[in-house]
Every structure is written in structure tokens, then in C-alpha cells.
Amino acid sequence: MDWFPLYNSLRIAAISTVAVFFLGIWAAYYIARLPRLVKGVLDVVLTLPLVLPPTVVGWLLLMLLGPKRPLGAWVLEAFDVKLVMTWWSAIFATVVVAFPLMYRTARGAFESFDKNLADAGRTLGRSNTWVFWRVQMPVCRQGILAGTVLAFARALGEYGATSMIAGYTPGRTATISTTVYQLWRTNDNAGAAMWVLVNIAISAVFLLAVNLLETRQKAEKGGRRG
């Protein structure tokens, strides 16, 4: 049996999650400190991929990265690299659709952070960078971890935008989601069912991890109040 779709899906999801982790935290940290009006506008823009149909996201990416579009054509001419129809093209799609989950979760964690803790660190002569990594991040870690897990699960299950920008080529660009669709098209229901079960099992594990993190966070908050 060819396990390439599983391997490809996991590496795409892993790379996307790393990118989304840093981009989401950076955006959440700075946007949470902006005026309400500006924050509201940026919230709409950054969260939009969460509510848009995946095919719309895929179309927009093709309009931006396609070989006949300005950016895609420039990269192809300058570096001889196509930005679409490769395995790593799917990373663009998964980053876009998973980013809102990481951003919203991280922003909620930062907004609930007690600013007095940060002020206490600064009065001791610590830099903002030190306060962020040694005070704020540890306090917000449960929310950050939950967002990371959700982003990974979303990237792992992405189909619409991925199929449009990376296509389906066995052994090259195939993912679990695109493989299920292709097997269904060829009436291989047994093969499709197997990959469906694999996807369900992996997703269930990550959702269970999110639930455990939330339960632990509530328990810690209850202990501090007590």
C-alpha cells in the first residue's frame, strides 16, 4: 500500500503549523494592542479565510501565484520555480486556511492576560522581549497550544484550496483528502474508506488533545482562584 498521501499530508501540515504558529502569535500580540476600530478591521481581513469556501481561497491563490500571474510569472522567470502544482504549493493553501484559528485563539489568550504581570517584570528592569517570552507566553501557553493543535488539524484536513493549487499527482502532490476524492471517483470505496478512517483517527487524537488542554486550563484557573 502507498503511504505517500499520509506522509505528504503530515509534512504539509507540520510545515504550515510552524509558519502559522509564529505568524499567528505575532499578529495576535500586536493587533490585541491596537485601537478598537483598527483591530476590528484587521480582524475581518485576517479571519476571512475561515468563513470563505475553500475553493474561493484556492481561486484567489491561483490568481496570485499562477505561472501567468504577475507574482507567479516573476518567480518562474527569476528562479525557475513554479509556485503551483507541486507538493509544497499546498503549504500556501494550508497556511491561509489555518492561520485564522491560530490567530483568534492566540489573541483571546493575550487579551485575557493580566497586564500587571508584565508591568511587574518591567519594573524589575526586564525588557519587553524577556517579559513576552518568560512571562506572557508561559501564562498564555494553554491557549497557544490549543490554537496550534487546531491549526495542525485544519491543515491536515484541507481539501478544496489544496486540490486547486497543488492538484493530485500520485507520489508527488497527493494528500489524504485528495486521495479520498480520487478513490471515490474511481469507485474504490474500500480504499477511500481506509483513508477516511486514517483521517478520522488522526483528527480525533488532536481534538482530544485540545479538550485535555482546555480542561487543564480551567483546572489551573480554578486552582488559582481557590
Q: Is residue 112 a contact partner of residue 104, using CB atoms and an 8 Å limit?
A: no
- Better-scored residue on pLDDT, 27 or 206: 27
Tens digit of each residue's pLDDT (9 = 90 or more) over 5-46? 999 999 999 999 999 999 999 998 888 778 888 888 888 889
Average pLDDT over residues 125-154: 83
Which pLDDT band, with edges at 50, 70 and 90, does 141 fall under? confident
| Residue ranges covered by each domain of the chain | 4-225
How many whole angstroms separate alpha carbon 88 and alpha carbon 170? 14
Model-level pTM? 0.85
Q: Give the Cβ contact number of residue 175 at 10 Å.
A: 31
CB 192 within 8 A of CB 173: no
pLDDT of 89 reads 92
Could you please report the per-residue DSSP string of the chain? Answer: ---HHHHHHHHHHHHHHHHHHHHHHHHHHHHTTS-HHHHHHHHHHHHHHHHS-HHHHHHHHHHHHSTTSHHHHHHHHHH---SSSSTTHHHHHHHHHHHHHHHHHHHHHHHTS-HHHHHHHHHTT--HHHHIIIIIHHHTHHHHHHHHHHHHHHHHH--HHHHHHH---TTTT--HHHHHHHHHHTT-HHHHHHHHHHHHHHHHHHHHHHHHHHHHHHHHHHHHH-
pLDDT at 91: 94
> Which CATH superfamily is 4-225 part of?
MetI-like (1.10.3720.10)
**Residue keyed to cell 502507498:** 2
Q: What percent of the chain has pLDDT over 90?
A: 37
Of the CA atoms within 13 Å of residue 83, those in its CB half-sphere come to: 22
